[in-house]
A and B are shown apart, each in its own frame.
Chain A
């Protein structure tokens, strides 16, 4: 029956059901990703960010929350210039992180 309205989708993240296999694999291959403190230096300095929403901080967070589509969209815009690596206060090798991530599928398998 059409009531003229439907159940609204929820934006809440349920950590009980989130699939973070890709994140788990990433931190095995690039453990420094674990030390991100979400300061946003990488996004602030990112060449691609103003036009594409690219943000290494958000990539790491989205992986933890199982939001792979957003991760892939952001990664596709990265120009690998390396500015983010220069500013990270935790010394995360963000170029290595991005390249590693590009090689992983959503299940965390190395496919490239």
Chain B
């Protein structure tokens, strides 16, 4: 064991990276945050409010980045390459610097599924088709004129999730509850609008999620239609015509909407796969990083000194991600204690 303070490279300054860096710093280590985007906060920084309490996403990002305030942070910085050393790892950063570290924490997060790949939904082709992220941006800045005063709005669950053809068979976990959150927010903005959620299964597993669902039904009159949207077309007035099966009824169903929101799912981050290969960390069949054990050691890789936090191992909610970030920090602490 080196006598100096161990250095831990934390890849990604989203919520997992920020929280883990803060914990590691508090435990007496020297974390270094490396973020390829110009700002920290990752996907959450692009969101407006968070389920289930509709708390502002900005507050969470602000408090997490404040916590990691004294941590050395590189933003706007890519990792050019990673390599294994005898007792640690070396990272060559895009700015030419080399970072030698004793451990690596993947906090690389996820990619939002590219909704235009589901060609039948017409994202990028039909004007009135937007994604969950586009709608969050509208909640943030109110710029997108396509959201103006809709009379009928649809939400399509599982876009790019649980879909062999989209190359992602996993459930993205957060979309059902996000759809309900956004549907409620749309009803708050436009109380007269009819709002439809098209779902395959509703997976509302988290704390307060079911309450949120009942609220959406009872207090907001949101219509839940069990059936996956099969096809979207454009009507002559620019609205979109949506086809699905009303599976509880066993009949095809069709509705014309002013706005269709695609709940783009969580898919693996190809950068994480690339770094993992460079230092010999295993990637699962689903494209996410492989944990040493999916029950007892989700934050550990099979390689000494390489750890995970958050959505790099699969779709996670924010509380799960934060819990994993803390867990990863403690696991890293134990790792160095054992090496003393």
Contacts and interface: CB of A to CB of B under 8 A. Distances in A.
DSSP majority for the B interface?
strand
Contacts, number: 46
Interface in A1-39: 11-16, 27, 31-32, 34-35, 37-38
B218 A13 contact: no
A14 B235 CA distance: 14
B214 interface: yes
A98 interface: no
Interface in B251-273: 251-256
Interface residues of B, number: 18
B253 A34 contact: no
Contact of B251 (A11, A16, A34, A35): A11
A65 B221 CA distance: 15
Contacts of B246: 13, 61, 65
A57 interface: yes
B254 A14 contact: yes
B117 to A, nearest CB: 27
A92 B161 CA distance: 32
Nearest to B154: A15
B217 interface: yes
Interface string B190-232: 0000001000001000000000001001100101101000000
A19 B238 CA distance: 24
B248 interface: yes
A64 interface: yes
Interface in A29-70: 31-32, 34-35, 37-38, 57, 61-62, 64-65
A106 B253 CA distance: 22
20 contacts: A12-B251, A12-B252, A12-B253, A12-B254, A13-B253, A15-B254, A16-B255, A27-B221, A34-B217, A34-B218, A34-B221, A35-B214, A37-B224, A61-B246, A61-B249, A62-B249, A65-B246, A65-B249, A65-B251, A65-B253
Given A11-B251, A13-B251, A16-B256, 6 more contacts: A11-B252, A12-B253, A13-B246, A14-B253, A61-B249, A65-B246
Closest 9 CB pairs of A and B: A15-B255, A12-B252, A13-B253, A38-B248, A35-B217, A34-B218, A34-B217, A16-B256, A35-B218
Interface of B: 196, 202, 214, 217-218, 221, 223-224, 226, 246, 248-249, 251-256
